[in-house]
Structure 1
Amino acid sequence: MGVIILAQNMEALAKHWNTTVGGVAIVISSLGIGRLIVLLVSGWLSDKFGRKPFVVLGVITYLLFFGGILVSTSITVAYIFGILAGIANSFLDSGTYPALMEMFPESKGSANVIIKAFVSLGQFGLPLFVSFLVAGDFWYGWSFILCIVVLIVNLLFMLFAGKFPVANQDAKVEEKEAEKEDVPVSKGNVWFDGTLFVLYGYVAQATFYLVSQWLSQYGTKVAGMGDAGSHALISYYSIGSIVCVLVTAALAKRAVKEIQFLGVYTLISFISLLLMYMFPTAIMCSIMSFVVGFSAAGGVLQLGLTIMSTFFPAGKGTITGVFYTAGSIASFTIPLFTGMMSTNIANIFLFDVIIALIGFVLAVLITVRYYHLFGKPSQKGAVK
């Protein structure tokens, strides 16, 4: 909700800040800067001091963002609070993903994808709430108030929650599993494999981040849909991501490994975006919004992180920081690029088609490297 709320309120915020939709896109890019500032450091610190402090700190910082946007009167002030949102996102990433991998060391992929399920719930519900506010001519700020209430409830829960697992204790589980299967704990090449994952982190984030920011505008300006219909596209997109989480979890129980999802999902996202660009009709956008949500936003980024942790199992927080730093660069640069293209929304989606194609190529290379280093996935080594 924190990522898409600015995009969902673009028109209202543009009027409030006396700017254009392109100006709001510039503010959205500030979230990427905030992530860049602290993500690597927060990942390393979470390995050192534990996960819970960073989850709590992330919630508090996000509260400052939602409240700050409501009192912002210019792009400059909003940009500063947008940076805080990026910092908050980094804190949460550094705490949540490593914590779940450590809580469920034998089901890391499923655990990480669960985070995406809750992200998707927020992405599904927020556009519906914004559409309700628009239809009733209510103040747009109520959507921010809703997020503040949700965060306060979460903060109270986290403050009284029990202790989290010791940082990186799951590495011992991986060592035992590796001994049973008679394979080394880590085979990844830092420079070659690390580069592939960093590039994939950028491209995967860029693919769905771009869609989440511009899908409603694409429906209105290119497909000729009404306000309610165009806002509903984000909900279809979010439903697709939720369905993907359920499908991934079900298949994982049937001994399908994370690596087997990667190439398939990235190929589907490329094809769905291409069809949406080539045939920009209301029905095509509605169907493909679901499909691209399923394939690009249904946990493929989290699966990439889980696979990277298989290549480099030591230091989950640091690995998360490195992987999501690439994503934060995408969060910063993509809105800048698309802001310059905002006069032609169709070109923005063509740009996303190209990015998705690059993502598919990277996924294939990662898959080839995985099979070369670890062998073909088997029933024995599959996700539990």
Structure 2
Amino acid sequence: MKNKYLPTAIGLYINYIIHGMGVIIISQNQKALMGQWNTDLMGVAKVISMLGIGRLIAIMISGRLSDKFGRKPFIYLGIVTYSLYFFGILYSQSVNMAMVFAVIAGISNSFLDSGTYPALMESFPKKAGTANVLIKAFVQIGQFALPIMLKVINTSNMWFGWSFVIPVIVFILNGLFLLRRPFPDQDAKENQQPEIQAVKFKRQPKIAIEGVCFIIYGFISQATFYLISQFIGVYGEQVANMSADNANLLISYYSTGSLICVAVTAALATRVRPIYLVTLYTFISFVTITIMWLFPSPTVMMIGAGLVGFFAAGGVMQLGLTVMGEMFPAGKGTITGIFYTFGSIASFLIPIAAAAIAKTNVRGIMFFDTIIAGIGFVLAVIIFIRYRSTVDLSGDKEEKSSLQLTETQAKS
């Protein structure tokens, strides 16, 4: 609570509430937008797909530029371009025009990520895992709040466009709030002080080994949970012989597990180094997916969906980025861009590959995900071993001894 960057962090998290709304706002307003664009569900789907393309276009370069020009400019670029997206979608009169603004939304997301993740890691170097995982919680808050907002708008017979205008108003107010808030990279430049690092090194990590492992892990971690989120309903119905209604509920178990993980991980990451959580979470998700492939029953699917949501989708990707930021502290914007670029590539390639597998063998989808999760665990083990060989962990013992001494003094 004494950290002077706490108000800054609150403002950054508020941006992600609006981002959470922005991701689903087209699908939530699809009936009104189909009429406005004179299209069908396929046209709406094309517009939504452009979000990923925009993100893929910008995330690499925006991360590098964030290191050069600072975090704050990219936060404001994200706010301005995201606001343009909301108004652009609202007033577009065709699918093609809406697709342009959807690409802008993906670029906006890249701007926010390349400014926010590094800013949070720099603001809370000792609790970077918790700070990054909490982003996912605020995205979920936005996705929870938007349907409620729309229900109020619809029951009050108000214009559907208010669901687009209100987020922009919040963006503007939050932008004004952040205007005078300090950012750690700015302070470091002004005071000519080196950035506070979360870890000390016995020897420097190597891009050719640890760096490559992290980059591939960015792809694998996204692929693991994205595949489940897109195909678990089909797998439950056709392979585990679940009814259509019960199979559709699997995504709810998955989402619940993800939300619970955010809360648990936010607490654990203040006490345990993120590298341990990455290794544990990746292992359990691998085991869970393997069991879902080998023993596809309704009970296994319901329990497995919740566990995969927890251990694969509840923040392990953010934790992986946090560990990468610890091992390569110079250029956090650049590594954020690289890490999430490969995650975005997975979002495109994996569904295509899975759809091809599903044409002949739906069960093969889970086998495919088992292989992906297995590769992820092997990478996590390599990263864990390299982390322990490069990072000086002696501070953990000193910190533990200090904590025990404090507790003893408090009791006496």
TM-score by structure 1 length?
Answer: 0.78
Partner of 2:284: 268
C-alpha displacement at 1:300, in angstroms?
0.8
- Note if 1:243 corresponds to 2:282: no
SS in 1 for 2:195: helix
1:94 pairs, out of 114, 123, 144, with 114
Partner of 1:84: 104
In structure 2, what residue type is equivalent to 1:285? Answer: M
Partner of 1:187: 204
After superposition, the C-alpha distances for 1:61-88 in whole angstroms (9 at most, x for unaligned) are 3445456566778875665444333212
C-alpha displacement at 1:279, in angstroms?
4.5
Gaps of 5+ in 1: none
Q: Does the 8 A contact of 1:31 with 1:83 survive in 2?
A: yes
After superposition, the C-alpha distances for 1:77-134 in whole angstroms (9 at most, x for unaligned) are 66544433321221111111111112222211111111122234445667x869x99x
Q: 1:381 to 1:72 in 2, by over 3 A?
A: farther
Partner of 2:135: 115
SS in 2 for 1:329: helix
Identical amino acids, percent of aligned pairs: 48
Q: 1:84 to 1:276 in 2, by over 3 A?
A: farther
Partner of 1:358: 375
Q: Does the 8 A contact of 2:221 with 2:343 survive in 1?
A: yes
Partner of 2:65: 45
Gaps of 5+ in 2: 1-19, 404-412
Q: Does the 8 A contact of 1:29 with 1:333 survive in 2?
A: no
Q: Does the 8 A contact of 2:127 with 2:270 survive in 1?
A: no
Q: 1:322 to 1:272 in 2, by over 3 A?
A: same
**C-alpha distance in 2, partners of 1:41/1:3?**
22
List aligned pairs for 1:160-199, cutoff 5 A: 160-161=177-178, 162-167=180-185, 169=188, 172-174=195-197, 178=200, 183=201, 187-199=204-216
**C-alpha distance in 2, partners of 1:58/1:9?**
23
Partner of 2:317: 301
Partner of 1:330: 346
After superposition, the C-alpha distances for 1:129-161 in whole angstroms (9 at most, x for unaligned) are 69x99xx9xxxx97x975764454244223322
Q: Does the 8 A contact of 1:198 with 1:326 survive in 2?
A: yes
List aligned pairs for 1:25-40, cutoff 5 A: 30-40=50-60
**C-alpha distance in 1, partners of 2:145/2:234?**
18
Partner of 1:204: 221
After superposition, the C-alpha distances for 1:241-274 in whole angstroms (9 at most, x for unaligned) are 22222222333343x2111111110111122223
After superposition, the C-alpha distances for 1:323-345 in whole angstroms (9 at most, x for unaligned) are 11221222232233345456465
Greater than 6 Å deviation, 4+ residue runs: 4-16, 70-75
TM-score by structure 2 length?
Answer: 0.73
**C-alpha distance in 2, partners of 1:129/1:85?**
22
Q: 1:27 to 1:342 in 2, by over 3 A?
A: farther
In structure 2, what residue type is equivalent to 1:96? Answer: T
* The structure with more radius of gyration: 2
In structure 2, what residue type is equivalent to 1:109? Answer: G
SS in 1 for 2:204: coil
Q: Does the 8 A contact of 1:51 with 1:96 survive in 2?
A: yes
In structure 1, what residue type is equivalent to 2:51? Answer: L
- Note if 1:313 corresponds to 2:329: yes
**C-alpha distance in 2, partners of 1:338/1:34?**
23
Q: 1:247 to 1:328 in 2, by over 3 A?
A: same
In structure 1, what residue type is equivalent to 2:207? Answer: V
SS in 2 for 1:174: coil
Q: 1:287 to 1:260 in 2, by over 3 A?
A: same
In structure 2, what residue type is equivalent to 1:91? Answer: F
After superposition, the C-alpha distances for 1:268-290 in whole angstroms (9 at most, x for unaligned) are 11222233344445443332222
Q: Does the 8 A contact of 2:77 with 2:108 survive in 1?
A: yes
Q: Does the 8 A contact of 2:86 with 2:168 survive in 1?
A: no
C-alpha displacement at 1:307, in angstroms?
0.9
User: Greater CA deviation, 201-210 or 28-37?
Assistant: 28-37
After superposition, the C-alpha distances for 1:336-384 in whole angstroms (9 at most, x for unaligned) are 33454564654434332221111111111111111121255734478x9
SS in 2 for 1:302: helix
**C-alpha distance in 2, partners of 1:51/1:83?**
22
In structure 1, what residue type is equivalent to 2:137? Answer: A
Q: Does the 8 A contact of 2:122 with 2:195 survive in 1?
A: no
Q: 1:74 to 1:367 in 2, by over 3 A?
A: farther
SS in 1 for 2:197: helix
SS in 2 for 1:191: helix
SS in 1 for 2:375: helix
**C-alpha distance in 1, partners of 2:231/2:33?**
15
Q: Does the 8 A contact of 1:99 with 1:164 survive in 2?
A: no
Q: Does the 8 A contact of 2:59 with 2:337 survive in 1?
A: yes
Q: 1:62 to 1:282 in 2, by over 3 A?
A: farther
Q: 1:266 to 1:70 in 2, by over 3 A?
A: farther
